[in-house]
Structure 1
Amino acid sequence: MVAREQFQEELARLRGDIISLARDTEHLLEKALEALYNQDIDAAQNIIFEDKKLDEKELKINEDAILLIARQQPVATDLRRLIIALRISSDLERMGDNAKNIAKAAIHLGEHHGLTIHPALDDMKQTALKMLDLSVKAFEYEDVTLARKLAELDDRVDNMYGEVVREMLEETATNPQKIQHIMQMAFSARYIERFADHTTNIGESILYLVKGETLDLN
């Protein structure tokens, strides 16, 4: 196999590893919200363990990308692809951290907190996961049209987050003895909002890769 073909094969493998990492991150957010709504402390603790494995995958992707840069010394678009791989894997790792933080919030809330988890958190999660799926497709096909759609969805998540925080503040006024528990829900909403922000970062990376432009989708 000639060097160019081998490089393209390794680049494709790296792309597949990033898509796999994105799916792991998707799974982690799903499970974190389930643990929060179901008051499932065991599931929340397992998510913290799973996040460590996600961190290891991100580290391997980084090592593989850096090794490819050192060994192949790519230029132009190929070099940008490897730089973008590093950026996207970093965003995915931080998204996993946000899911882990929701699991930690579930643990802080405990099993018998007596509060109803705000239904908007699930709506936020659904939109954030839609954004992740969109960003993965934009990455896989280097599609700037898909990447640009993330901005509108991010605005939707931001608006839902604002509503949740306002309602949580009102709740603390009428239920001050539960302020610590209520704030854990507000924090969880913030973690979902940050999760969505990182998907816009991925969209921005795709725009930079394809267009060579730095644009703000958030």
Structure 2
Amino acid sequence: MTTTTLERAVRASSNPNAKGMRTKQQILDAAEQCFAEKGFEGVSMRLVADRAAVLLGLLTYHFATKESLFAAVIARRADELNANRLAAMTLVAPDDLVGLLEAFIHPYLDLLETGEPGWRAYAHVIAVTAQDSRWSALGEQYFGAVGRMFISRLQVAVSGLDEDLAVRAYVHTVSIIMGLFAASGLIDRFSGGRLDSNDLRCGYAPALRFLAGGIRSLADASARPTD
């Protein structure tokens, strides 16, 4: 007997595991939006439950604490971003600094512009995470491997950039793209409205030039003799 699409849908809807996964995704979607809007401190488990339209008990069944919920929000999209960055970096020539920066930054931009709407909220959550020492271990857990590869590639791409300077270059790169992709509205105010922080692609090219020049300057400065 042939199983119809309707029959498969009915079976899926009655599958407890499938239903549980849908509920978890529903909770994570709501939590992502809440954390993006209010930060970690401004969000309660009750707020997330209400936004997700689930009972508080069901939320705490899936995520016992707010910390575990926050970590799950960070983890959910990290694999896709990391995979896209790694794939892009493998295509870059060893001595191509601009290409390396593009391989690290552009996959994030693509997801923010063409991925599901939650990526914009995720950018706000990541920006908060990067500026709070409480979450440094979380950042290392989900983004550390790609970060270390980027640091190693920087040392090859830029002559005179030792490991410590490459680490600084990585941290500066992360700080700049977090600020850019969080679209905080700061550039709108200082430009009198001429610039739009939500126009990520327009802000991308100047940020790329700024980073490439700054990283090369780090190496140049280290090569100069000191007095």
Normalising by structure 2, what TM-score?
0.30
Flag the structure with larger Rg: 2
Q: Which structure is richer in relative contact order (CA contacts within 8 A, separation 6 or more)? A: 1
Name the one with the larger helix percent: 1
Normalising by structure 1, what TM-score?
0.31
